[in-house]
A and B are shown apart, each in its own frame.
Chain A
Amino acid sequence: MHNSGRANAPKRFLVHLVMLAIGLLLAVFCIWLVYLTYFKSSHGEALAKKVVSRQEMIYEPFHGVDESVHAGVKSKTWCLKCHEDYAHSKSKEVRGMLNAHSFFMACEVCHIAPKEGERFEYKWLQRGTNTPLTALNGRPGEYGGTIIPFKVEKGVSRRLDENQEAQQLLDASAAKDSDEDLQRRKMRLNTDIHKGFSPKPIFCDECHREKGPLDFKQLMYSPQKTQRLTFGEGANIIKQYKDFYLPTLTRSTR
């Protein structure tokens, strides 16, 4: 009996050692959980924000609401004279996102893709004054500018979102609805205006990647924002999920 007890001593020691190791591991895990729940401010704040406040949530990818929407600021691109503020309406899955983009960029950014050998550049221009922005200050939508595409030919940049004739014609025809000649010219110009437009617009994942048509660094986005716009969460979601879904729970049956 005594010998067997002595023989079992190493086994008992091993059991104690294993139990001590497991116990310590579990204790550390418990302490980490308590730290996560009560002391790690970012985690706690994130949870609180998720439930309590939408203020930060609106800047998350896919649920982003541009400040310009709240402020009621429009890009005032002349396309919207005909197509109105919410120009994208066909696909209800993506139209909200596309319309949100048209608040801060000219339609031509997506709807005129550079052809082989063509060189485009994109700049922020201040709304109203049309002077280039020198920095992006404030939150998205507070920059006060619109992204405008330029076509560079023989060293000369030409704005792609401007058509003086169309602008004048639209203003004139709005004032004189009954002028048949004006309406005919308007119809002809309608065809001309859309000639330069690509049959298929540039889609999300063509822009939100490195070496896409838009150089986010050149557009003065911070390195963090640039990363987010290219390989960050938003772009990854685009890559992983080609299909968009709308919640059906609260959808009206009508």
Chain B
Amino acid sequence: MSGHGNNERVFARLTKSERIQHVILFTSTTLLIITGFMLMGEDWVVRMLGPTGKSIFYWRGIVHRIAAVAVSVVCFYHLFYVLFKTTGKSWIRDMLPRLKDGVDAYQNVMYMMGLRKERPKLDRFTYLEKLEYFSVYFGMFIVISTGTMMWTQSYWPKFYLDVADALHVGEATLAALAIIVGHIFAVHYNPHVYPMNRAFIDGNISETLMKEEHSLWYERLIAEEVSKPANTPEGGHGNA
């Protein structure tokens, strides 16, 4: 368990809109991974399904397409969100890569190897979170464009479709492994948050976790609080 007490002070980490976007993203991505990799299923599993397999695979295609539309909509909405909404602008501003991220990465590796005594002070988004976030942009661009090509296959020459297919499968494999090994570990199996980081449900992060994972951001919020006691509840800076 995370070991944080129930009465511990919490800080707002995700807004309601961000949480809804995340729920749609992870639900549809899970469906896409399951229904997509079903096509790579082992022959003996497919044979085992017998006649039911035909209807399962019929629905597989429909579910895959519905999930694809959902993930595309949420991606385009997210672009709109970070470009035009106040909280979104604050999100993308804090998410943009900086030179400090490189320094943080180096110092953190040194710390984990025991060659440095203190962990670097990390900001609202760590270098790993930024890497993961922008990987989603890259991945979504690949899978949405190639998926659209395969959905409208009658308009494309076969060679283009074969390239699209290879890219779609390759990127999906990379994304699935990155989500499971990187993201799921970070938000579920990391000892600091085990069994789960509840920010995706209630939008909050505990003070202990703030100090452990985002100490620079924590210090800044406390300093702001001292100079200006009233905090905004939205925008990721409020405290509860």
Contacts and interface: CB of A to CB of B under 8 A. Distances in A.
B181 A249 contact: no
Interface in B159-212: 160, 162-163, 165-166, 169-170, 173, 176-177, 180-181, 184, 188-189, 194-195
Interface in B28-43: 37, 40
20 contacts: A12-B1, A19-B189, A30-B176, A33-B176, A33-B177, A43-B40, A47-B166, A50-B166, A51-B163, A51-B166, A57-B162, A63-B158, A245-B154, A245-B155, A247-B155, A247-B156, A247-B157, A247-B158, A247-B160, A249-B156
A30 B180 contact: yes
B58 to A, nearest CB: 11
Contact of A30 (B1, B158, B177): B177
B201 to A, nearest CB: 15
B181 A50 contact: no
Interface of B: 1, 37, 40, 154-158, 160, 162-163, 165-166, 169-170, 173, 176-177, 180-181, 184, 188-189, 194-195
A37 B174 CA distance: 10
Contacts of A250: 157
- Top 9 A-B residue pairs of the complex, sorted by shortest distance between their CB atoms: A245-B154, A50-B162, A247-B157, A26-B180, A19-B195, A248-B155, A47-B166, A15-B195, A51-B166
Contacts of A36: 40, 173
B37 A249 contact: no
Contacts of A86: none
A29 interface: yes
A23 interface: yes
Interface of A: 12, 15, 18-19, 23, 26, 29-30, 33-34, 36-37, 43, 47, 50-51, 57, 63, 245, 247-250
Contact of B180 (A29, A43, A51, A249): A29
Nearest to B181: A30
B208 to A, nearest CB: 19
Nearest to B158: A63
B90 to A, nearest CB: 33
A109 B76 CA distance: 55
Given A19-B189, A47-B166, A26 B184 contact: yes
Contact of A249 (B157, B176, B188): B157
Contacts of A29: 176, 180
A51 B164 CA distance: 10
B160 A249 contact: yes
B91 to A, nearest CB: 28
Nearest to B196: A19
A139 to B, nearest CB: 20
Nearest to B157: A247
Nearest to A42: B43
A244 B28 CA distance: 32
Contact of B189 (A23, A57, A247): A23
A23 B158 CA distance: 39
A249 B194 CA distance: 51
A199 to B, nearest CB: 30
A30 B177 CA distance: 6
A19 B191 CA distance: 13
Contacts of B156: 247, 249
Nearest to B184: A26
A51 B165 CA distance: 9
Contact of B162 (A37, A51, A245, A247): A51
A252 to B, nearest CB: 13
Contacts of A12: 1
A15 B155 CA distance: 50
